[in-house]
Chain A
Amino acid sequence: MAKIMYIEALKSALREEMRKDKNVFVIGEDITRYGFGINRGLVDEFGPDRVRNTPISEAAIIGSAVGAALRGMRPVVEIMFVDFIMIGLDQIVNQAAKMSYLSNGELSVPMVIRTPEGTEWFGGGAQHSQTLHSMFMNIPGLKLVIPSDPYDAKGLLKSSIRDNNPVIFFEHKQLYTQKGEVPEGEYTIPLGKAAVKKEGKDLTLVATSWMVKHSLEIAEDLKNKISIEVIDPRTLVPLDKDTIINSVKKTGRLLVVDESPISGGLQGEIITVAMQEAFWNMEFPPKRIGSLNTPIPFSSVLEKKVIPTKEKIKEEILTMFSD
């Protein structure tokens, strides 16, 4: 099987879906000529009508995608940095997320918003490095997808495009150049199905996005001491609770690692979901790791203090087995 980069996997999903369905189109700022390059080259095959460079107007980019989706199109929006999504937040929260419900299912918004988050010395600082996916878990009506490798990225993007709900598809800047095995040709991965990235019996380590890579490396580093099961939920809404709960029941220990700021974050939600079903199986209090509740600082020295690093995760795991 060929190894390709995460961005190539995304591009190949877009290309296949645009060939398959003429209602699929991509829209965003400078998507043909600047940015991370996921859409680059598509214009040659599909033309400028379906590959739209826009003004810097995130509300109108997202809002117009919602409107086009209401009319049967299947827009795939690129928001260059997740931080910029905030300008179009009303269009997502008050409009897109409400359409199906308000209309008794008569209206649908089959739209995907792809957007990168996170850092690890990306150097973008406070307004180009945030991790915002947790915030959207509080908005019923949205689906949230967050793939951690090229294989998942392709299969999940194809499913997201075919889904009839508004989907926010969170990528990570550090993942873009990561390589992984991706088969030739058609495959999809259903939304709502977690992946057990590595089986283990002593600890359930739930990790998302860039944190999955750290987690797998740690599991390998510690394999002679601790058998770690690494679970990637892959989609936050819908959340595959069963896979997480069953793993925790088996291991009796849970650590959740996510780059969101810790307060009100995904980490706490997953711990609650697990504790409601697996409390009596626990051998150690559940733990969570996230970013500190500070903005992301520019200095790499400061940034390391804020975000979850491999060292911090490893240290936390060892404290869970210290006796």
Chain B
Amino acid sequence: MGISREQKINMYRSMIRIRKFEDKLEQIYRDGKLNGHSHTCHGEEAIAVGAIEALSEKDIIFSNHRGHGHYLARGTSPKNIMAECYGKVTGTNQGRSGSMYLVDTKRGMLVASGIVGGNICLAVGSALASQIKKDNIVTLSIFGDGATNIGFFHEALNMASVWNLPIIFLCENNQYAEATHREQHQKVEKISDRAIAYSIPGKTVDGTDVLKVYEAVKKAVESIHRGEGPTLIECVAYRLSGHSSGDLGAYRPKGEEEEWRKMYDPVKKYKTRLFKENILSFEEAEKIEQEVQKEIEEAIKFAVESEEPLANTVDKFVYQEEVNG
């Protein structure tokens, strides 16, 4: 689909960045150095990177509680995300959000929802705004398999379909809704089959293959630009971690995670492929890894050394002060 060599390497760097960022973050929680908790996307890096690479700069993204990867893939600085996890004033949301509700308006990352499925309808609204303004912008709504059981999902897909809105619904099927395996929370074999109910295209792709994800999203973008409306894309992967920091995932069958890690670790898979295709050399890979490692260490240093928010700013921005017109 016409991805340049440089782009392919950048995608690798981005995946490594997400992996290392979250490895380090988990470590920090484990060491008891941070309050609260966060949700990592280990095993789902290919979805974030592949999907976001397929968008243009002006497109809009609604992420979720498992969202660090989406923001990192879009180019939000690891420093600002890490500082937000630390609740510091230099964080993406100046310490008002923590890990779950990141905002980066400059990159069209409007808001991540901590309520499962809570912003799927908001994404529909963004697409509605685009339809009224005729601005040619695509909205990407990202959610997990668990979110496809909540009412918002149904209302949103129905509305987007009946109005033919410029939106892509991207489901990260990581097999678990919190601690419940998919077989216990829905009977449908492929989540993309749910698209049939809305008469929109539904596609299931290997969510551990970054180029397959890229391709699927790119096609959905093109179909929107042809005026063909929404698509539901299911990316199948596996959450190579617990639901949130501190959760070791003991409810999963023994050996399941190891099996996926061995066969379908998206970062490893992509690296091997780049080696095979002679796009990346061992030395280059090593260099990228070291650079990213340094970046993450700097991000932690930045977060640790940053100032706490001023207590007397606590009631700022509850309301917007300015009035229109």
Determine the chain A residues whose CB is within 8 A of the CB of B93 once the complex forms. Answer: 102-104
A63 to B115: give the CA distance in the assembly, Å: 13
Determine the chain B residues whose CB is within 8 A of the CB of A99 once the complex forms. Answer: 111
A108 close to B (CB within 8 Å): yes
B156 lies within 8 A of A106 (CB): no
A164 to B127: give the CA distance in the assembly, Å: 20
Residue among B126, B155, B162 having the largest count of chain A Cβ atoms under 10 Å: B155
Determine the chain A residues whose CB is within 8 A of the CB of B94 once the complex forms. Answer: 104
CB distance from A96 to the nearest CB of B (A): 9
**A70-B110, A70-B126, A74-B324 known; A100+B318 contact, CB < 8 A:** yes
Task: Considering the complex, give the chain B residue whose CB is closest to the CB of A75.
Answer: B125
Interface residues of B in 290-325 (CB under 8 A from A): 316-320, 322-325
A162 lies within 8 A of B118 (CB): no
Interface-side segment among A33-41, A53-61, A128-136, A203-211: A53-61
CB distance from A227 to the nearest CB of B (A): 37
CB distance from B140 to the nearest CB of A (A): 13
Interface residues of A in 158-197 (CB under 8 A from B): 159, 162-165
Interface residues of A in 84-99 (CB under 8 A from B): 90-91, 94-95, 98-99
A71 to B108: give the CA distance in the assembly, Å: 10
Determine the chain A residues whose CB is within 8 A of the CB of B317 once the complex forms. Answer: 100-101, 103-105
CB distance from A168 to the nearest CB of B (A): 14
Interface residues of B in 141-179 (CB under 8 A from A): 151-152, 155-156, 158-159, 162
Determine the chain A residues whose CB is within 8 A of the CB of B76 once the complex forms. Answer: none
Task: Considering the complex, give the chain A residue whose CB is closest to the CB of B97.
Answer: A102
Determine the chain B residues whose CB is within 8 A of the CB of A249 once the complex forms. Answer: none
Task: Considering the complex, give the chain B residue whose CB is closest to the CB of A54.
Answer: B159
B96 close to A (CB within 8 Å): yes
B241 close to A (CB within 8 Å): no
CB distance from B314 to the nearest CB of A (A): 10
A143 close to B (CB within 8 Å): yes
A104 to B97: give the CA distance in the assembly, Å: 10
Total A residues in contact with B, Cβ cutoff 8 Å: 49
Task: Considering the complex, give the chain B residue whose CB is closest to the CB of A159.
Answer: B323
B125 CB contact (under 8 Å) in A49, A55, A68: A68
Determine the chain B residues whose CB is within 8 A of the CB of A62 once the complex forms. Answer: 121
A308 to B268: give the CA distance in the assembly, Å: 69
CB distance from B139 to the nearest CB of A (A): 8
A63 lies within 8 A of B96 (CB): no
Determine the chain A residues whose CB is within 8 A of the CB of B322 once the complex forms. Answer: 164
B267 close to A (CB within 8 Å): no
A275 to B170: give the CA distance in the assembly, Å: 54
B103 lies within 8 A of A67 (CB): no
A71 lies within 8 A of B125 (CB): yes
B64 close to A (CB within 8 Å): no
A266 close to B (CB within 8 Å): no
A65 close to B (CB within 8 Å): yes
- Residue pairs across A and B with CB atoms within 8 Å: the count is 154
A140 to B319: give the CA distance in the assembly, Å: 9
CB distance from A105 to the nearest CB of B (A): 4
B188 close to A (CB within 8 Å): no
B280 close to A (CB within 8 Å): no
B105 close to A (CB within 8 Å): yes
A59 lies within 8 A of B125 (CB): no
B122 close to A (CB within 8 Å): yes
CB distance from A216 to the nearest CB of B (A): 30
Determine the chain A residues whose CB is within 8 A of the CB of B111 once the complex forms. Answer: 70, 99, 102-103, 107
A105 lies within 8 A of B324 (CB): no
A141 close to B (CB within 8 Å): yes
A73 close to B (CB within 8 Å): yes
A21 close to B (CB within 8 Å): yes
CB distance from B130 to the nearest CB of A (A): 7
A21 CB contact (under 8 Å) in B105, B152, B324: B324
Determine the chain A residues whose CB is within 8 A of the CB of B323 once the complex forms. Answer: 159, 162-164
B60 close to A (CB within 8 Å): yes
A101 CB contact (under 8 Å) in B96, B113, B119, B156: B96
Determine the chain A residues whose CB is within 8 A of the CB of B96 once the complex forms. Answer: 101-104
B122 lies within 8 A of A64 (CB): yes
Residue among B118, B129, B151 having the largest count of chain A Cβ atoms under 10 Å: B129
Interface residues of A in 3-25 (CB under 8 A from B): 20-21, 25
Determine the chain A residues whose CB is within 8 A of the CB of B54 once the complex forms. Answer: none
B264 close to A (CB within 8 Å): no
**A73-B129, A90-B118 known; A110+B324 contact, CB < 8 A:** yes
**A55-B158, A72-B129 known; A60+B103 contact, CB < 8 A:** no
Determine the chain A residues whose CB is within 8 A of the CB of B156 once the complex forms. Answer: 60, 63-64
Determine the chain A residues whose CB is within 8 A of the CB of B152 once the complex forms. Answer: 59-60, 63, 90
Determine the chain B residues whose CB is within 8 A of the CB of A91 once the complex forms. Answer: 118, 121-122
B77 close to A (CB within 8 Å): no
A60 CB contact (under 8 Å) in B130, B158, B319: B158
B128 CB contact (under 8 Å) in A68, A90, A110: A68
Task: Considering the complex, give the chain B residue whose CB is closest to the CB of A58.
Answer: B155
B214 close to A (CB within 8 Å): no
Q: What 17 additional pairs, Cβ within 8 angstroms, besides A54-B159, A60-B124, A67-B124?
A: A21-B325, A55-B155, A59-B155, A60-B155, A63-B121, A64-B125, A64-B156, A67-B119, A91-B121, A91-B122, A94-B113, A102-B101, A102-B103, A103-B103, A106-B105, A107-B103, A108-B320
* A–B pairs, 14, beta carbons within 8 Å: A57-B159, A60-B155, A63-B121, A63-B152, A67-B62, A70-B111, A71-B125, A71-B126, A71-B130, A95-B115, A102-B97, A102-B101, A140-B318, A165-B320
